[in-house]
Amino acid sequence: MDFIINTVYYVVPFLFLLGVLVFVHEFGHYIIAKITGVKVAEFSIGFGKMLWGKKDSSGTLWKLSAIPLGGYCKFLGDTDAASSGNDTTELSEEDKKYAFAFQNPFKKLAIVIGGPAFNYLFAVVVFACIFMAFGKMEFPPVIGSVIEGSPAAKAGIKAKDKIISIDGRSVKTFNEFRQEVEMSTTGNVKIVLMRNGKEVSVNVKLGVITIGENGEKSQRPMLGVTSVNEVEFSSAKMSVFAAVKEAFYECYRISAVTLRGVGQMISGQRDTDELGGIVRIAEMSGDITKTSSWLDFLVFMALLSINLGLINLFPIPMLDGGHVVIYLIEILLRREINEQAKDYVFKFGFFLLIALMILATYNDIARLFNRWFS
């Protein structure tokens, strides 16, 4: 019985979430290809053996495959799903007009960017719909209380202080302030406050707190303050323009925080054990399904869509970002890069991706072990 319940709570939501996000991403590639006159040979949700397939009138094979951990959009003339190679020897002169390999680098660039762009577009639509239906609800950046003996108390922070900025970054909500504290890697922050109409600047040496979240222990920077028990509404119901504008800002903010976190991992300021993979996504989607509402799940889906779009733009061969770099170089050189050189680059990217997947999977298993047995 427990197995059935866990399947419902963890496997089903995970497959639904991943299926939607993969479809959105690959549909971005597909629709831009169609607009630019490139023929799509296959559109697959999943990898491996085909479970179901149907050709449309344009000759595209739409299919569901056995391994539901991704998907691909394969163009006419491609030898693999990543468009890292091609075999055009059997194509007629007419077919070559519609093959990806024979397009100019501007078209190729547009098609490659289409996937990540649609991930961002999906997140914008989700956030905008939420803002229009429910309004934007946030806790204001005001200190509700200060814990006695905490780093905040020692620095002289007081209740009712309004937070203006932290380490030079302005904050509009208490949640943004909390995220900036958690993103700190130095252990020291400079906070600018508004108190009785005057700006006050304080330097705080952060403490460390151990969380027991979902049975998993982790350490986070601690300031020692709470928010006020009041909620601010930017609008009861936002207009379409205001909601879309706020949705774009939300996507920008999430991307910026994610990039800072990745940069801190690369520079060694943040542990790589925070890197999560497919198992972590399944775990989080299940936890949200069990304990939260459909609205939280929808927000989680939008957050993942942003991360999927952003990660795919990283300049790593085999990812969309690697293709972007190659096509930009070809635009600047006004000629194609040697095929053998491309092959070496893509092989390097493949091994790099495998290494990252192994690291992420190791972290996921370690988290699950700690959650189950600690």
pTM equals 0.77
18, 46 contact by CB (below 8 A): no
76, 41 contact by CB (below 8 A): yes
β 225-227/143-146 pair status: antiparallel
For 135, residues 6+ apart whose C-beta sits below 8 A from its C-beta are 233, 234, 235, 236, 237, 238
Query: Within a 10 A sphere around the Cβ of 310, how many other Cβ atoms?
Result: 20
Q: What is the pLDDT of residue 268?
A: 72
Give the bridge partners for 75, in sequence order: 40
Distance CA 312, CA 115 (A): 8
Reference 138, options 190, 177, 184; nearest CA is 177
Highest-confidence segment of 22-36, 81-95, 279-293: 22-36
Distance CA 206, CA 166 (A): 13
When pLDDT is averaged across residues 262-282 and rounded to a whole number, the result is 74
Average pLDDT, the chain: 84
Q: What is the pLDDT of residue 87?
A: 61
Per-residue pLDDT tens over the stretch 42-90: 999 998 899 999 999 988 999 999 988 889 999 987 766 666 556 666 7
Question: Does 26 participate in catalysis according to the annotation?
Answer: yes
Q: What is the pLDDT of residue 3?
A: 62
Q: Taking 70 as the threshold, does the pLDDT of residue 244 lie above it?
A: yes
Reference 74, options 41, 119, 118; nearest CA is 41
Higher pLDDT, 301 or 371: 301
Q: What is the pLDDT of residue 20?
A: 94
User: Annotated catalytic residue: which of 26, 42, 180, 283?
Assistant: 26
